[in-house]
Every structure is written in structure tokens, then in C-alpha cells.
């Protein structure tokens, strides 16, 4: 069950020492170690939050001592910043990359599906993005990074709105609403895993597109590409 990308190619703990001789621990290149620390940090931040995670623990899980972390990132905040930055990039890339197709409904489908994809593939990253950043007011005054993501999606809606004769000033509102819909449902789905992802996506699009009034019984995705 591939929960999260884990590039760490080696066991974090030193090998069980089959021989009496103390097996000299594998030495990584700077880059390798850096990536490994990022992976571990992401995992820990996701499950304990920023303040709840200690540098010592990160270092320990990497089978390494504290100063190594300081060497690479200058501290906890540094590491966290890089983790968050990468996840935001990734999510944004996935969402915008999925926005193919001209029909607005197709766009909606792709976006929703991409977000669910991200949530499934990079669960830890998603958990971090949903939490509050420690250095609040960094980007502005947004409470959650996800809310921030939504603002980057709103221009897509804005264009659509304009072409339909709606007030484009409302696009941020609707963007937040749509993202919130998918995000919270995704969060819930992570713990239930009951309907399959594609089915969840179909229902979400069904709701977003037709509304409660025109709800269909057995919704199907139209422009569905990847599994």
C-alpha cells in the first residue's frame, strides 16, 4: 500500500549487526540525506504537527544526529518551509496539469479528480497543507494553506464566469466553496475509504454541477482519463 512517496532507499536504523564487528553505517551524499530528511520530516509533521515534532526525532528516524539537520536546513523552520513549498508546488502542478478539455464541466471534473488524486497519493502532504502554518501570516492572513490554494484556482472560474455573464468578483467565493467541498470530503474519505475514489469524484461533480435540486442517482464522470 503506497501511502506516500518514500525515496529513502535504505533502512533508517543501522543493520542488525549480524557479525560482532560494528557494521559501519552507510554514508549518504548531501543530496540523498537532504531528500531523506525531507521525507521523514513530511511524515512527522503530518502526524504530529509542527510544534509537536522535534528535530531530534527527525534526526533519529534518519539514523543520524541532530546537527546534520541543522547543517542542511538551518533548523526546524527551514525544513518545514521546504516541505510545505514542495507540497504546494506539487498539488498546484497536479491540478493545473489536469486542466485539459474545453467544456467547463470537464474542467471541473479534472480538477476535482486531481485533488483527490493528490490526497490519495500524497496523504501526508495534504495533512500538512490542511493544518495551519506555524509562521502564520507568512503568505497573508490565511488560516490554512488549502485556502491559499483555492485562490490560485479562482482565475479559472473567473474566466468562465465572465463568459457566462456573471460577476467575476464572485469567483473567489465560488472557488473557495468548490475547493472546500472537495478538500473536506477528501479528508473524510481518507478515513473511510468506502466508495471508490472515482465514485467519490463523480458524486462531488454531480453535486457541484447539478446542485441538490437536480441531483442524479447514478452520476458518471465524462472526461475521465487516468484511472
Partner DNA sequence: TGCCATACTTACGACGCCGTAGGTTACGGA
Partner DNA sequence: TCCGTAACCTACGGCGTCGTAAGTATGGCA
Q: Which residues bind to DNA, rule: CB under 7 A? A: 24-31, 33, 53-57, 59, 63-68, 70-71, 74-77
> 26 or 225: whose CB is closer to DNA?
26
> 53 or 133: whose CB is closer to DNA?
53
Give the nearest distance from C-beta 203 to a second copy in angstroms: 6
> 23 or 162: whose CB is closer to DNA?
23
Instruction: Kindly give, in sequence order, each residue whose CB lies less than 8 Å from that of residue 190, ignoring residues fewer than 6 positions away.
Output: 119, 120, 123
Q: What share of the chain is helix, strand, coil (3-state, %, to 5)?
A: 60, 0, 35
Residues found near a second copy in the complex (CB under 8 A): 47, 49, 51-52, 104-105, 108, 127, 130-132, 134, 136, 140-144, 146-147, 150, 164-167, 170, 172-174, 176-185, 187-192, 195, 200, 203-204, 207-215, 217
Residue 219: which of 187, 208, 194, 174 has the closest Cα?
A: 208
> 48 or 193: whose CB is closer to DNA?
48
Task: State the burial class of residue 105 (Cβ atoms within 10 Å of its Cβ: 0-12, 13-18, 19+).
Answer: middle
- Residue 144 forms beta bridges with which residues? 132
Which grid cell sits at 192? 473511510
Give the nearest distance from C-beta 7 to a second copy in angstroms: 25
Amino acid at each position: 500500500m503506497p501511502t506516500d512517496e518514500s525515496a529513502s532507499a535504505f533502512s533508517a536504523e543501522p543493520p542488525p549487526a549480524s557479525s560482532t564487528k560494528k557494521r559501519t553505517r552507510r554514508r549518504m551524499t548531501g543530496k540523498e540525506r537532504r531528500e531523506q530528511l525531507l521525507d521523514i520530516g513530511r511524515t512527522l509533521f503530518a502526524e504530529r504537527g509542527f510544534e509537536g515534532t522535534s528535530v531530534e526525532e527527525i534526526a533519529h528516524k534518519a539514523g543520524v544526529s541532530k546537527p546534520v539537520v541543522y547543517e542542511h536546513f538551518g533548523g526546524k523552520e527551514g525544513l518545514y518551509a521546504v516541505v510545505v513549498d514542495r507540497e504546494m508546488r506539487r498539488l498546484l502542478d497536479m491540478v493545473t496539469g489536469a486542466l485539459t478539455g474545453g467544456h467547463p464541466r470537464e474542467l471541473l471534473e479534472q480538477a476535482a479528480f486531481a485533488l483527490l488524486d493528490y490526497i490519495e497519493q500524497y496523504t501526508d502532504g495534504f495533512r500538512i497543507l490542511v493544518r495551519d502554518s506555524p509562521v502564520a501570516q507568512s503568505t497573508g492572513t490565511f488560516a490554512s494553506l488549502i485556502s491559499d490554494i483555492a485562490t490560485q484556482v479562482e482565475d479559472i472560474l473567473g474566466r468562465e464566469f465572465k463568459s457566462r455573464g456573471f460577476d467575476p468578483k464572485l469567483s473567489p467565493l465560488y472557488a473557495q466553496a468548490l475547493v472546500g467541498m472537495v478538500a473536506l470530503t477528501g479528508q473524510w474519505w481518507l478515513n473511510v475509504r468506502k466508495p471508490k475514489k472515482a465514485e467519490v469524484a463523480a458524486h462531488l461533480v454531480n453535486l457541484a454541477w447539478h446542485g441538490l435540486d437536480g441531483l442524479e442517482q447514478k452520476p458518471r464522470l465524462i472526461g475521465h482519463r487516468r484511472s
